[in-house]
Structure 1
């Protein structure tokens, strides 16, 4: 205990001063760092004087009493069921707060996706010696990089906050004054800060001390109280627990909760609707032009447009992928997930193959928004209910190539995490061969999600310099 920092409170010093953060103590024979941080809270002195907070280890019973007093998140018993109808209800709540982001096409990228790779391209890969696949793909892009805060995460955050405001007794018990808390290194931090600010609710955001400076600044810019922690999930959760104990704030997790999943799924509803409307107006991903009137042609008006055949989203914690899968349930639209493979970041793919969720991931993939393992609730939708048909992964170089293509040919800013589905469509021979086999010459209209565009210029330069 003597070696622990003694933080004065949950606020942080101004920029330029030393950051305040919590570090794990050395592992000892008495207890592991995991056990320490899972039971660490802080208490003030009896007279509330500004003395240093004292670390206190609680028994499991005491921890449960604490969590009964300060519920960590919305009661699962009050959550909407994980169904497509619930995603529709979620859309009604979030629609006034989020952008109806565009669904765009790009003739060049569609042509590249439908062009077989050369045998030379496959040399040195796990597909070396295989005949290159010849899929026919028509790509449609849901541009959540143009969303508020620059990422899809705002959908889940607004839905969670709006649902929290509807929770019986929450407002009456002072919930609005106690606020909300989360731990996030980036987009969810900004999303919750914005959603809380627009509802007049305090937001406490625990961020690892290695978070990108631009994301820290943006989170503070939305009025949140940023508190720094160590980089591991155990350390982040320990600081969040301390804030809950001190303030009574309610936890809004980044992805592993039905309210978050349903909110993220609203983009899937929009994308399906947008593609149908564009097709009805004579728009095609392979030939992206409208007829002269901008109205459906006589042939189009005779029957409803086909719409999408499939959607692919990035997968980190799984909130977006599971939500989009729910939005497609019963529609005939197939859903797939895309992951980086660097240092085991493809945990959902490996979980599919093993039939069991991978509970921990430690990776430094350039797709930094996808460094987390799939949560329990998303996994139940993705795998246990089989609403996602398959997972596919790509290398760091393939992610870089896809990101570069978006910049150069689409003139859009996307973070590497958001380019992973495009990388799969362009470079993953297993996915491409599956499309060729199942769709034949008719091909697929494939929706891809650009999940975010929060990347600093310095970060991009570093990625491409490497």
Structure 2
């Protein structure tokens, strides 16, 4: 359970790690001599594209669903997601025998819609211009008596996501910097708590698309900022804002926030496909983009980079890469 003195702390992340042991994959950490030479740093890529469902989201989803009450399990859970959290909840529900309903935007990648249904969830599509996902989710939850498990603004979700950094540190040891992508802030909050608890001197920097820079503006202004349906290929970062829980955590534990352009995201995505030989999605390379494009420069440092996911529509990749 979540500690009482603080909403989320390292003990909660360690408890989540025990919950996930033998269930979630302990994803590989890759290195590249070429990347080290380009950045003049020692870089460690934590590859959550190899996680179950293809992203880190499974960690928080399973941790959260494993702790709902028996009556809630019987009725089922509901969430809203553009895709990766949807798949995480769907698979976790399948494994725990909990019915799942997922509210997804009509323009969510087909590969993510298909996978979510494949894990056994009921998918309800909606038009973003007509209703907000939160409003529709609440309406459905009230009608059917379902428990809402939001994609990032939930203590058990955040604790589960924090196990990503916990594993990385356990494997590679000391780090001078950790780079993490940021959408709603669940991953960076959990990773920052884990990192600052284990490596107090390690800097944590969040990375967003410049076209969806609400978290960066929030961090700089110390006031919650919003963005409406941002036009970015990084669909996992299209969240309107940080959450009521994640915003204070980002302010407390994160050292800085930066942004990267759409063109830079595509270049980095191509580079990682070509050089590391792994499938990554646009959101998944945000952190790597900041390093490889020189937005963040830390010569001589040991740098951890979270690759958050690899759920990309392969039919669309050629179009993206043709623009380089």
- TM-score interval, normalised by the smaller of the two chains: over 0.9
Match of 2:112 in 1: 215
State the SS of the aligned residue for 1:359: coil
Deviations, residues 307-339 of structure 1 (Å, cap 9, x unaligned): 211211100100000000010123222211111
Q: Aligned equivalents of 2:129 and 2:15: distance in 1? A: 35
Match of 2:267 in 1: 401
Q: Aligned equivalents of 1:178 and 1:80: distance in 2? A: 30
- 2:3–2:9 CA contact under 8 A, matched in 1: no
Question: Which residue of 39, 47, 50 corresponds with 1:143?
Answer: 47
**1:413 Cα deviation after fit:** 0.4
State the SS of the aligned residue for 1:449: strand
Question: Which residue of 433, 446, 453 corresponds with 2:303?
Answer: 446
Cα distance change of structure 1 residues 215 and 78 upon mapping to structure 2, 3 Å threshold: farther
Question: Which residue of 180, 183, 189 corresponds with 1:322?
Answer: 189
Structure 1: runs of 5 or more not aligned: 1-73, 115-136, 165-169, 277-306, 437-442
Question: Which residue of 237, 242, 245 corresponds with 1:374?
Answer: 242
Q: Which has the higher contact order (CA 8 A, sep 6+)?
A: 2
- 1:80–1:258 CA contact under 8 A, matched in 2: no
Question: Which residue of 173, 178, 182 corresponds with 1:311?
Answer: 178
Give the greater-gyration-radius structure (CA): 1
Alignment of 1:50-69 (within 5 A): none
**1:163 Cα deviation after fit:** 1.6
TM-score (norm: length of structure 2) = 0.94
Match of 1:337 in 2: 206
Q: Aligned equivalents of 2:37 and 2:67: distance in 1? A: 43
Cα distance change of structure 1 residues 404 and 209 upon mapping to structure 2, 3 Å threshold: same
The yes-or-no answer on 1:410 pairing with 2:276 is yes
**1:272 Cα deviation after fit:** 0.2
Q: Aligned equivalents of 1:198 and 1:79: distance in 2? A: 32
Q: Aligned equivalents of 1:79 and 1:249: distance in 2? A: 29
Match of 2:30 in 1: 104
Cα distance change of structure 1 residues 250 and 77 upon mapping to structure 2, 3 Å threshold: farther
State the SS of the aligned residue for 2:230: coil
Q: What RMSD in Å do the two structures reach over aligned CA positions?
A: 1.9
Cα distance change of structure 1 residues 233 and 196 upon mapping to structure 2, 3 Å threshold: farther
Question: Which residue of 19, 43, 48 corresponds with 1:93?
Answer: 19
- Aligned residues, how many? 320
State the SS of the aligned residue for 2:22: helix
Cα distance change of structure 1 residues 232 and 262 upon mapping to structure 2, 3 Å threshold: farther
